[in-house]
Structure 1
């Protein structure tokens, strides 16, 4: 076997061992041999390399079946860190997560109102500031991920359309690489939140999941057969633009009666103002306000929120019939207020499910709130590391995905 093929095989085996430790920890070396199918000598060598790179640590002993008690292994939380950015229309959140995806630090900034180039420059500024903070803590950066609203070509790192930022066919990954010298992981914000729930949250251990985000818009992230599903051009999950009312209000997409136009946060607020007329001022009403009033049994609010929830439930239930999903997770900013909306969504789902499917899907609220996108894009950055890992990369010698040593020195990242 030539040197290149030997390295490729080693990196594949290393990725396999890393993933198994993440999923099964605490786990012994003996169990790693059994679960991966690799030879004991190969696993022993890889574990020693991972120890040397500080990605792995011992965490106690397993029960002995005769002889010495096997040592248990887990990911070392302080073995490396990921910078995650959640790029939203009104605010930009940035956080630092450790190797087991605990959010160690977080900052929130208003999104520049002028949009366009101003948003990009702000993004570069806060990433640089965060790298300097990591340097002050002697934290080694392994990857950087950005999740964003809008329509995103994740493979090429292009934001196809994000009206909130004034971006159209914006080459985000290439611009960041040219300015900062690294290639970040780019993903849609709803997909990132779905991945967080799948790996660490309410959908952990499931295979076929829909995460529904209800806020300014309505979207869905799909996990099918244990993998994030984005469709042929990264537009899977746009349930907010399914027509539910043919002569309904105009949607921002240009169609009438989309689910988003009748059941999102702004749509709920609009319906409340229309029903109450001059009795309320539109400036103080938003979707969360109306949902909070519904929780207090205000009759008009209760009816509006219940109707919206049932429409969302009907759409999600039909999607469940099509895909035979086992888990439905409901999240997003509007859902933070509580039970009336969630109950109406569940009722709507159950009313359209096929009889043999009514007991199948587990329906729950999201485990993560505003930090869902940060955790999800961090987890996706970690997954990229698993899929393209090399110990020289982790050690800071790689000039591509994780940032070159020169870039890390310039921008305050510890290598």
Structure 2
């Protein structure tokens, strides 16, 4: 064995051990050095040396001393959460949201910009740059930033950091990573927004206790993030999770993708609004008229939810019907992937119980086995910030990378 190989192996082992300890402090801290040694089977001197390095680099800090069992009181370790920051961007179809989080996912600053109508590739990149620059300037110590994460709707190539196709804008091949890294001299990670949402929930939300989850982002479009054994599944051409274009009704309405009866054409925000307008034009009585002062073009998912809260029969019916359509799509996912939990986020998820009632009823009726009928389905814990927080996690993943990655 060559000296070079031995040295390389030693560095790799040290890196793996560092990763193990850093993640243990992040997930289980405050925790003592002795507890880390016991749980990892690493020797106490190895743990002490690596912890010393982590303290010197300011990723870890010592906190209050624990209770003594006769000897010296153990000093606990925890992540130095506010020492480093990440910046996340959620590129929706109308609005671009920006936020800064610490290492625990706590939001420190946030900002939003409208996306220009019929934007070009340059418009999208310029809007990103404006929002990112605003938050970097707002931070007192910009040197603390570890990187920038982008959650982009549509199909992306995460390796190249490229937006391959953004259907809402009819744009292709937006060089996000290349452009932003050149502008800001920071690491940039790019992912689909639904996958980013799922990643955010896996780290800081309702997915942090299990490894097999599906996150469904239901807003102006519908997408999903599929996580298997703690790893995001992308598929061969980065198409995995495009469930919005799963056909659920062969004679259904035309979708923006050109096909008919897509889940998105029946369950996304614009589809709900269109069904509401159609019903109202037939003479249905509803509080929606008053809420939009007779201007039916103002109807959107948020107003329908508002009317449902006021016990408006039409709005409740519309949301339950949306839940039933979603239930068909989710039943197909259960039969294909069989996740332990499904997490629903995005604007439409704010409809809460109205949506879940129809959704769960459909799954109970259509799923094959008792276990699959009872698949855990919850609303996003991170809410409207889920995709942007998930974009921050894209950066955190690099710094807390586990040895198997």
Same fold, TM exceeding 0.5?
yes
The 5 A counterparts of 1:100-249 are 100-116=104-120, 117-134=122-139, 136-137=140-141, 140-249=144-253
Structure-1 residue corresponding to 2:291:
none
State how far apart, in whole Å, the 2-side matches of 1:234 and 1:37 are.
Answer: 38
State how far apart, in whole Å, the 2-side matches of 1:306 and 1:338 are.
Answer: 10
The CA deviation string for residues 355-391 of structure 1, in whole angstroms up to 9 with x for no partner, is 33146522211111111112111122111112399xx
* Residue 303 of structure 1, aligned match among 313, 317, 338: 317
Rate the CA distance shift 1:38–1:71 in 2: closer, same or farther, 3 A: same
Give the alignment's TM-score, normalised by structure 2: 0.89
State how far apart, in whole Å, the 2-side matches of 1:278 and 1:9 are.
Answer: 70
Q: CA deviation at 1:34?
A: 2.4
Check conservation: 1:244, 1:257, Cα contact below 8 A.
yes
Check conservation: 1:29, 1:43, Cα contact below 8 A.
yes
Structure-2 residue corresponding to 1:284:
298
Structure-2 residue corresponding to 1:372:
386
Structure-1 residue corresponding to 2:14:
10
Structure-2 residue corresponding to 1:38:
42
Rate the CA distance shift 1:166–1:177 in 2: closer, same or farther, 3 A: farther
State how far apart, in whole Å, the 2-side matches of 1:8 and 1:210 are.
Answer: 33
Q: Does 1:356 align with 2:370?
A: yes
Give the alignment's TM-score, normalised by structure 1: 0.87
Q: Match of 1:219, SS?
A: strand
Q: CA deviation at 1:69?
A: 2.8
State how far apart, in whole Å, the 2-side matches of 1:281 and 1:246 are.
Answer: 32
Check conservation: 1:174, 1:183, Cα contact below 8 A.
no
Q: Does 1:260 align with 2:264?
A: yes
In terms of mean alpha carbon deviation, does 272-281 or 332-341 score higher? 272-281
Check conservation: 2:150, 2:190, Cα contact below 8 A.
yes
Q: Match of 1:73, SS?
A: strand
Q: CA deviation at 1:72?
A: 1.5
* CA RMSD, 1 decimal: 2.1
Rate the CA distance shift 1:63–1:326 in 2: closer, same or farther, 3 A: farther
The CA deviation string for residues 203-260 of structure 1, in whole angstroms up to 9 with x for no partner, is 2201211111211111211221122222222221111111111011101111100111
State how far apart, in whole Å, the 2-side matches of 1:230 and 1:69 are.
Answer: 47
Q: Match of 1:54, SS?
A: coil
In terms of mean alpha carbon deviation, does 19-28 or 53-62 score higher? 53-62
Q: How many residues align?
A: 388
State how far apart, in whole Å, the 1-side matches of 2:366 and 2:65 are.
Answer: 50
Rate the CA distance shift 1:163–1:315 in 2: closer, same or farther, 3 A: closer
Check conservation: 1:115, 1:164, Cα contact below 8 A.
no
Q: CA deviation at 1:51?
A: 0.8
Structure-2 residue corresponding to 1:19:
23
Q: Does 1:341 align with 2:352?
A: no
Q: Match of 1:260, SS?
A: helix
| Structure 2 unmatched ranges of 5 or more | 284-293
Structure-2 residue corresponding to 1:98:
102
State how far apart, in whole Å, the 2-side matches of 1:388 and 1:20 are.
Answer: 11
Check conservation: 2:136, 2:142, Cα contact below 8 A.
no
The CA deviation string for residues 73-102 of structure 1, in whole angstroms up to 9 with x for no partner, is 110112211111112221111111112111
Check conservation: 2:99, 2:107, Cα contact below 8 A.
yes
Structure-1 residue corresponding to 2:286:
none
Q: Match of 1:78, SS?
A: coil
